[in-house]
Amino acid sequence: EVQLVESGGGLVQPGGSLRLSCAASGFTFSSSAMSWVRQAPGKGLEWVSTVSGSGMSTYYADSVKGRFTVSRDNSKHTVYLQMNSLRDDDTAEYYCATGLQDYGDLAYWGQGTLVTVSA
């Protein structure tokens, strides 16, 4: 059974940093692209970032480019999202997800971790 468990969310001041983690199990982790998707309170889904199975390729939404960094440790079956220079509008539930195929869909989702950016 595929399981994705996010952690690391919390309250942070504007301009601060936070690192999210997503522990994966139940599938061939090193062969699977992993993505982060966020949802601001009462709003829709927004793709944030994707990292390839090897970790060599990374992709970012324009809204986070230059501030967020996605990485992975295949030995630990974990993907990370380092978030710097956080802004009020980064407040959201952050989900990690992976698909039936790379870049085509997001079949499996974690339960989410809440990031609140506020003074």
Whether 116 and 18 have beta carbons less than 8 Å apart is answered as no
Each residue 1-20 as x (binds other proteins by CB under 8 A) or -, in order, gives --------------------
From the CB of 13, what's the least distance to other proteins, in Å?
27
**Number of Cα atoms under 13 Å in the Cβ half of residue 75:** 0
Whether 115 and 12 have beta carbons less than 8 Å apart is answered as yes
From the CB of 15, what's the least distance to other proteins, in Å?
26
- Output 29 or 95, the one with its CB closest to other proteins: 95
Question: Which of the 8 DSSP states describes residue 32?
Answer: S
Each residue 42-61 as x (binds other proteins by CB under 8 A) or -, in order, gives --xxxx--x--------xxx
Residue 15, both tokens: 């301009």
Binding status of residue 110 toward other proteins by CB under 8 A: yes
Residue 56, both tokens: 């060599």
β-bridge partners, 11: 116
Binding site residues, other proteins, CB under 8 A: 35, 37, 44-47, 50, 59-62, 95, 99-100, 103-107, 109-112
